[in-house]
Amino acid sequence: MSTSNSTAENSIASEQPNRITGPHHEPPTVANATTYWRCEACNRESIREQDLHRETFHAAECEVAERC
């Protein structure tokens, strides 16, 4: 039995900061709430997952971009 209150998504992101994570869900209190994906290395986000698999999407020195 786990005593952690963190979600699997959050624990994966904290252990492996150079990954693409998602989908993340905006809280229902946000107008036009949607889901989005995030590059944990450069902190860029997009509502389209395929954007994060393009090298040009990431910051100039992003480690994830090198794997695209």
The pLDDT value given to residue 17? 65
Work out how many domains the chain is built from and give that number.
1
CA distances from 68 to 20, 34, 63 (A): 11, 25, 10
Looking at residues 26-55, what average pLDDT do you find? Answer: 94
Residue 33 in contact with residue 57, Cβ under 8 Å?
Answer: no
Q: What is the pTM of this model?
A: 0.66
Radius of gyration of the chain (CA): 13
Is residue 25 in some structural domain? Answer: yes
DSSP secondary structure string for all residues of 3-44? ---S-HHHHHHHH-SSSEEEEEE--TTSTT--EEEEETTT--
Residue 39 lies in domain = 21-67
Is residue 14 in some structural domain? Answer: no
Taking all residues of the chain, what is their mean pLDDT, rounded to a whole number? 81
